[in-house]
A = this chain, B = another copy of it.
Amino acid sequence: MKQHFDIVIVGGGIIGCAIGYYLAKENTSVAVLESQSIGGKSTGAAAGMLGAHSEYKEFKQLYPFARSSQLLYQELYDEIKELTGIDFEMKRGGLLKLAFSASEKEEMASIYKLPAIEWLNREEAKEKVSTLTTSIIGAAFLKEDVHVTPIAVCNGFSTGAQTLGAEIFEYTNVSEITKQDSQYKIKTSRGDFTAAQVVIASGVWSNYFFQNMGLTNRIIPVKGECIAAMNEEIPLKHSIFHDQHYIVPRNNGQLIIGATKKWNDWNEKPTLEGIESVIKKAKEMIPAIKDMKMTNCWAGLRPQTFDGNPFIGEHPEMKGIYFAAGHQRNGILLAPATGKMVRDLLLGNPVDKKWIEAFKVERSISKSTELEEVKL
């Protein structure tokens, strides 16, 4: 088994696989090492909204990055389908962000000036989705906040990367990374790998590598619980969003309903209370949803940073070590832009200064202890 690569990526979630894909397209020698199975952690739990606008307020300076990633999905869709046969189900209905009060409407004021956003009053909103609660005063219609099936995107990246020459190693846990001569040695459960450059893309578990390599950065899990329901009667063609809860229609007629936010909870299974609360919230948005048939439930851990921006950049001291983790509630959206940015960093291509600055690893060193106080 060949165990030397120019570049080794640690973590096979959507971030690691996107990076692998963009690097494989450049004919680099690249491997992804995944502790369990591809896309099985946070990525597999996600709803898949590409919410560049719905999360606009939270994004702040991140918005252009998010928007560029959203646009990348357009070309990726055909590219991945052509290359791998995988159709990651880009659903184009857009998203309705509900306002139950004048103040909620106002809160969204900042996004109305953005492209492809339209304010709908109650009647207009109910014309789009007749089953919406009558308690709203209206909704912002975010036409381009489409959504995808996250695990399919992740499989698309990983199969695509393999087709282009990358190697994927599942069930390969990385336990240590050390400098060895001019390269890095990556200790894993199935033996040592070596590489000149290493990218840590291990989601919330990247903490370990920060520590292991002398950094105080921290990523906190924000657990989210979801359910799926079979939508037999009411075709829903738009995602519905309110107060960070949502109802998202999948291609097969299922609805994904989520999600709770449990700060610093590492347990990856859904609790009774969590399920109860997402049902309650969904009923507030679409009362008739109460009669739908429940088919599944699960949970995942969002990788949260102290300021809401991911860490994307090189280790301040260990040249050749890169991080790409901490995409919190928007890792599906941000995966293509992250993949591209990391490719450019590694290959020495130009990268937008603003983004380098916003995401750099060393920014949090002094502040990371305050993370627990940040309002999410």
Residues of B within 8 A of A127 (CB): none
Cβ-closest chain B residue relative to A231: B159
Q: Give A62 Cβ to nearest chain B Cβ, in Å.
A: 26
Instruction: Identify which of residues 302-351 in chain A touch chain B, using a CB-to-CB cut-off of 8 Å.
Output: none
Q: Are A229 and B84 in contact (CB under 8 A)?
A: no
> Given A87-B91, A168-B232, A276–B273 Cβ distance below 8 Å?
no
A154 to B226, CA, bound (A): 26
Q: A196 within 8 Å of B by Cβ?
A: no
* 9-residue interface stretch from A18-26, A108-116, A288-296: A288-296
A268 to B190, CA, bound (A): 13
Cβ-closest chain B residue relative to A235: B84
Interface SS of chain A = mixed
Q: Are B207 and A189 in contact (CB under 8 A)?
A: yes
A227 to B279, CA, bound (A): 14
| Chain A: number of interface residues, binned into ranges | 35 or more
A170 to B269, CA, bound (A): 10
Q: Mark A149-165, 1 if CB is under 8 A from B, else 0.
A: 10110011011101100
Residues of B within 8 A of A230 (CB): 269
Q: Are A86 and B292 in contact (CB under 8 A)?
A: no
> Given A168-B232, A171-B266, A266-B190, A252–B149 Cβ distance below 8 Å?
yes
> Given A205-B173, A253-B85, A253-B152, A292–B268 Cβ distance below 8 Å?
no
Q: Give A203 Cβ to nearest chain B Cβ, in Å.
A: 11
Q: Are B86 and A235 in contact (CB under 8 A)?
A: yes
A251 to B276, CA, bound (A): 26
Residues of B within 8 A of A171 (CB): 266-268
Could you list 5 further interchain pairs (A-B, Cβ under 8 angstroms) beyond the known A85-B251, A155-B253, A175-B175?
Answer: A86-B235, A87-B89, A163-B235, A187-B208, A275-B276
Could you pull out 22 A-B pairs where Cβ atoms are within 8 angstroms?
A83-B235, A84-B237, A85-B251, A87-B252, A155-B252, A159-B235, A163-B235, A168-B232, A171-B266, A175-B208, A187-B208, A189-B266, A190-B266, A230-B269, A269-B293, A271-B291, A272-B279, A272-B283, A272-B291, A273-B290, A275-B279, A276-B279
